[in-house]
């Protein structure tokens, strides 16, 4: 997220310290595409560990599948969030876990000290507690959990890289499905949903609604005192081309907004037709350097079976964000 980059030079050490350490740690963390305890089956299997503020993974096992809640709220939220995400992919798309073959979902909470992020590292989830000044604990947000786990799905289904427009698509898919899991869990229609990622993750008195907004990219946070300003574009004319401030989490605003516009135009539950079209598109084997326009055309192919009204609404959405020309 570009929030971290914005805050890394903050004058207060209470803000700057944990942010700087989180960014250092994020650079150090590697991606481990190999599975750790992969024993496929038809039932979901969750394991939640506690890092006890160390950075050794996975840590101490606290809760395994079918065990009752333990006395650690972060453990229980990581467990429940992985469960809801699993149920979403299973019932909505008939997908059995992140790899489609029932892989175990391992999560580790209390990662590091005041760690300001959550991450899928290719083999497992890790969650920081937040610094207690800017951020709350990352396990509190179902859409954050589903966003990170979706990175595991994206890794299995696509070759999308993590740079340029492909990287922004990677982030956008994680946001779209992250938001859909939340909408599905609350049985919300597109009109009822807030379309925010991690609503309330910033601690008061910070002037911020959430990390990102799919409905209005660029409006999630604006706190002058902290020097925080949401720079996500909602249109191609504002595409960020410099590589300084986390462009993948910035330019994702454009495809995020196209999905939102499409879902709003169709009405009803966004995980139904729009979600299915995005899911089918994700599963077509998107290339490493897939751009927004190629992705948009793929969604139009996937939309064809839903008829002309759907295709027209989708075309309009991609035009409104400037990805397809009028
Ligand atoms: N929370 C970040 C994300 O998934 C962490 C990362 O891996 N870039 O977008
Ligand atoms: Zn992400």
Q: What is the CATH number of the domain that holds 108?
A: 3.10.170.10
Q: What distances in angstroms separate CA 35 from CA 103, 125, 184, 320, one per listed residue? A: 8, 12, 28, 40
pLDDT at site 310: 98
Tell me, yes or no, whether 189 and 300 share the same domain. Answer: yes
Tell me how far apart the alpha carbons of residues 1 and 246 are, in angstroms, rounded to a whole number.
7
- Same-domain status, 176 and 302: yes
Band (pLDDT 50/70/90 cuts) for residue 43 is confident
* pLDDT recorded at residue 125: 97
236 shares its domain with 135: no
| Residue 118 beta carbon below 6 angstroms from any ligand 1 atom | yes
| pLDDT of 274 over the 80 cut | yes
Are 256 and 272 found together in one domain? yes
Render pLDDT for 164-217 as a digit per residue (tens, 0 to 9): 999 999 999 999 999 999 999 999 999 999 999 999 999 999 999 999 999 999
Do residues 13 and 102 both lie within one domain?
Answer: yes
Residue 10 backbone class (left: φ over 0; alpha: ψ -120 to 50; beta: rest): beta
pLDDT band at 1 (very low <50, low <70, confident <90, very high): low
Looking at the fold, whether 30 and 93 belong to one and the same domain comes out as yes
Catalytic annotation on 229? no
What pLDDT is recorded for position 2? Answer: 83
| Residue 313 included in any domain | yes
14 and 151 both lie in a single domain? yes
- Tell whether 249 and 274 lie within a shared domain: yes
The fraction of the chain above a pLDDT of 70, given in percent, is 97
Ligand 1 binding pocket includes 248 (Cβ within 6 Å): no
Decide which of 109, 133, 157 is a domain's last residue. 157
In three state form, how does the secondary structure of 219-240 look?
CCEEECCCCEECCCCCCHHHCC
Q: Of 87, 37, 52, 46, which Cα lies nearest the Cα of 67?
A: 46
What pLDDT score was predicted for residue 22? 95
Give the end of a domain, one of 131, 157, 183: 157
Q: Is residue 326 part of a domain?
A: no
The pLDDT assigned to 109 comes to 98
pLDDT > 80? residue 230:
yes
Whether residue 39 is predicted with pLDDT greater than 70 in this model: the reply is no
> Which pLDDT does position 31 carry in this prediction?
84
- Domain hosting residue 217, numbered range: 164-320
Please indicate, yes or no, whether residues 132 and 246 belong to a single structural domain of this protein.
no
The whole-model pTM stands at: 0.97
CA 299 – CA 279 distance, rounded (Å)? 9
pLDDT bucket at 38, cuts 50 / 70 / 90:
low
Average confidence score pLDDT of the chain: 95
Residue nearest to atom 5 of ligand 1 (CA): 119
Look at residue 248 in the predicted model and tell me its pLDDT: 96
Q: Are 7 and 120 in contact (CB under 8 A)?
A: no
* C-alpha to C-alpha distance for 185 and 204, rounded to whole angstroms: 26
Share of the chain above pLDDT 90, in %: 90
Q: Cβ neighbours of residue 212 under 8 Å, at least 6 residues apart?
A: 1, 175, 196, 197, 198, 220, 230, 232, 249, 252, 253, 256
Top pLDDT among 5 and 146 is at 146
**Interval between CA 322 and ligand 2 midpoint (Å):** 23
Last residue of a domain, one of 157, 174, 208: 157
249 noted as active-site residue: yes
Per-residue pLDDT, 243: 75
Total of domains in the chain = 2
**Banded pLDDT at 44 (limits 50, 70, 90):** confident
Check if 22 has its Cβ closer than 6 Å to any atom of ligand 1. no
Verify that 204 and 300 share a domain, yes or no: yes
Helix axis angle for 164-185 and 73-93, nearest 10°, is 100
Region 304-319: what's the mean pLDDT? 98
147, 138 Cβ separation under 8 angstroms? no
Q: Which of 67, 70, 153 is nearest to 109 (CA)?
A: 70
268 has a pLDDT exceeding 70: yes
User: Do 306 and 183 belong together in one domain?
Assistant: yes
For residue 210, what is the domain's CATH number?
1.10.390.10
Active-site pick, 110, 249, 257, 269 = 249
61 in a structural domain: yes
Q: What is the pLDDT of residue 245?
A: 78
Q: Indicate the pLDDT class of residue 40, thresholds 50, 70 and 90.
A: low
Q: What is the pLDDT of residues 76-94, one digit of tens each?
A: 999 999 999 999 999 999 9
């Amino acid at each position: 997220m570009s929030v971290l980059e914005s805050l890394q030079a903050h004058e207060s050490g209470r803000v700057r310290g944990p942010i700087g350490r989180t960014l250092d740690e994020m650079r150090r963390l590697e991606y481990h595409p190999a599975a750790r305890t992969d024993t496929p089956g038809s039932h979901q299997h969750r394991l939640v560990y506690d890092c006890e503020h160390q950075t050794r993974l996975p840590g101490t096992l606290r809760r395994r599948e079918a065990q009752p809640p333990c006395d650690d709220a972060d453990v229980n939220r990581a467990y429940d969030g992985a469960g809801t995400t699993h149920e979403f992919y299973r019932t909505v798309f008939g997908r059995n876990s992140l790899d489609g073959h029932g892989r175990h979902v391992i999560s580790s909470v209390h990662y590091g000290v005041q760690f300001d992020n959550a991450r899928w590292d290719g083999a497992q989830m890790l969650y920081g507690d937040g610094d207690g000044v800017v951020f709350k604990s990352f396990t509190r947000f179902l859409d954050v959990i589903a966003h990170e786990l979706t990175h595991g799905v994206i890794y299995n289904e696509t070759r999308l890289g993590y740079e340029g427009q492909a990287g922004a698509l990677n982030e956008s898919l994680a946001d779209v499905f992250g938001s859909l899991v939340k909408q599905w869990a609350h049985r919300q229609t597109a009109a009822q949903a807030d379309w925010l990622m991690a609503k309330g993750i910033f601690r008061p008195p910070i002037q911020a609604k959430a990390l990102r907004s799919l409905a209005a990219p660029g409006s999630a946070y604006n706190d002058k005192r902290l020097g925080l300003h949401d720079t996500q574009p909602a249109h191609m004319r504002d595409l960020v081309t410099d590589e300084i401030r986390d462009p993948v989490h910035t330019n994702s605003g454009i495809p995020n907004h196209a999905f939102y516009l499409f879902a709003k135009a169709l009405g009803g539950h966004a995980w139904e037709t729009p979600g299915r079209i995005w899911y089918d598109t994700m599963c077509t084997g998107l290339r490493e350097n897939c751009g927004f326009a190629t992705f948009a055309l793929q969604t139009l192919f996937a939309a064809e079976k839903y008829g002309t009204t759907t295709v027209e609404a989708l075309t309009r959405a991609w035009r409104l964000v400037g990805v397809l020309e009028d």
